Amino acid sequence: MKQIYSLFRTDGEVISCDRYGNGHINETYLLATNREQLYILQKLNGYVFRDLDGVMKNIQAVTAHIRCRIKPPQQVLSLVPTRAGECYLRCSDGSVWRMYDFVRGGICLEKAECEDDFRHSAEAFGQFQNQLADFPAESLVETIPRFHDTPDRFRQLHDAIAADAAGRLAGVRREVDGYLSREKEAGELIRLRDEGRLPLRVTHNDTKLNNVMLDDTSHKPLCVIDLDTVMPGLVANDFGDSIRFGASTAAEDERDLSRVSLSLPLFSAYTEGFLSQCRDRLTPLEIETLPLGAKLMTLECGSRFLTDYLNGDKYFHTAYPEHNLVRCRTQLALVEDMERKWDEMCAIVGGGLIN
């Protein structure tokens, strides 16, 4: 490992290098130097991200833009340059490594301990939108093509149904019908984008609570992390994925569907925190489509679980044979509860119906 980290401009001599965190994508290490400096060193996953140069180009551009617009104690991830002055290291074997300054005094939560935690994460992602509102989103590389193209996700579901590669179709007719009955609505955000009614924005595309660094004492937001999926996208998708993951009353793989519902208090807390930071940067229609983003991101994720189940569990890691089926059912149950609470969701956001 020394032959890797020695090629970065660290402050002092590295005295320890240990595996760090519980991420499943990149290989992550925590480094300490004899000058009491801490760094995060990562080997990027070239299987998940096929365009690693594009990933790093996006991160470098976005973090530089944010850095020019923040004041302490706000923070942004800071890349440590290589000794050759590059923002990342590409080795002769094709592997790509990067180093960040360690964000001190911060914690990441897997689950909100209270409504304020969820509100603070929303403030962080709202700040992210505010800081990047004048960034040319179209200049970013689409590192995962069609990542939140919900109609394309449904096309993949149709392909999986037609192939029935794992012979599981007969046992999931109810789930298939549940998703396909909502297929027309699934394309609504893409339609509005294609009509020029929703602008492309810089989006994070993985807006889970644990991708926000919170102050370890006050739990107020420090910075947004895990920027590998930063791409051009729609605000409603980022908002919606946060709600899908964080405002559900049950785990993503809860077997007892009676426990699955949308928490309106958490939905309200997130909406308040998010819009407090970026309302003036968004168009009226962007704000109006936030509840739709929550529903469609849940629908999209569930369709992906169902597709993978029909294909024989090729994409998502599973702990047991029905794991993806259980996941697709929880997402469908959450969509159904959102439909029951639709008027309340729209009232909280302050929007109305899309013409």
Q: The domain 115-349 belongs to what CATH superfamily?
A: Aminoglycoside phosphotransferase (APH), C-terminal lobe (3.90.1200.10)
- Compute the distance between CA of residue 167 and CA of residue 131 in angstroms, rounded to an integer: 48
pLDDT higher than 70, residue 46: yes
First to last CA, the chain: 57
Q: What is the mean pLDDT of residues 8-32?
A: 92
Percent of the chain having pLDDT more than 70? Answer: 98
Computed over every residue of the chain, the mean pLDDT equals 94
Residue spans per domain, the chain: 2-104, 115-349
Helix (H, G, I), strand (E, B) or coil at 212: strand
Find the radius of gyration of the CA atoms of the chain. Answer: 21
Q: The domain 2-104 belongs to what CATH superfamily?
A: Phosphorylase Kinase; domain 1 (3.30.200.20)
- The closest of 261, 278, 221 to 344, measured between CA atoms, is 261
Q: What is the mean pLDDT of residues 227-232?
A: 96
- Please give the pLDDT value at position 73: 63
- Please give the pLDDT value at position 218: 92
pLDDT higher than 70, residue 352: no
Enter the pTM of the model: 0.92
Q: What is the mean pLDDT of residues 233-256?
A: 96
Q: How far is CA 105 from the centre of its chain?
A: 23
Angle at 63 between CA 62 and CA 69, to 5 degrees: 95
Q: What is the mean pLDDT of residues 34-42?
A: 96
pLDDT in tens, 130-155: 999 999 999 999 988 899 999 999 99
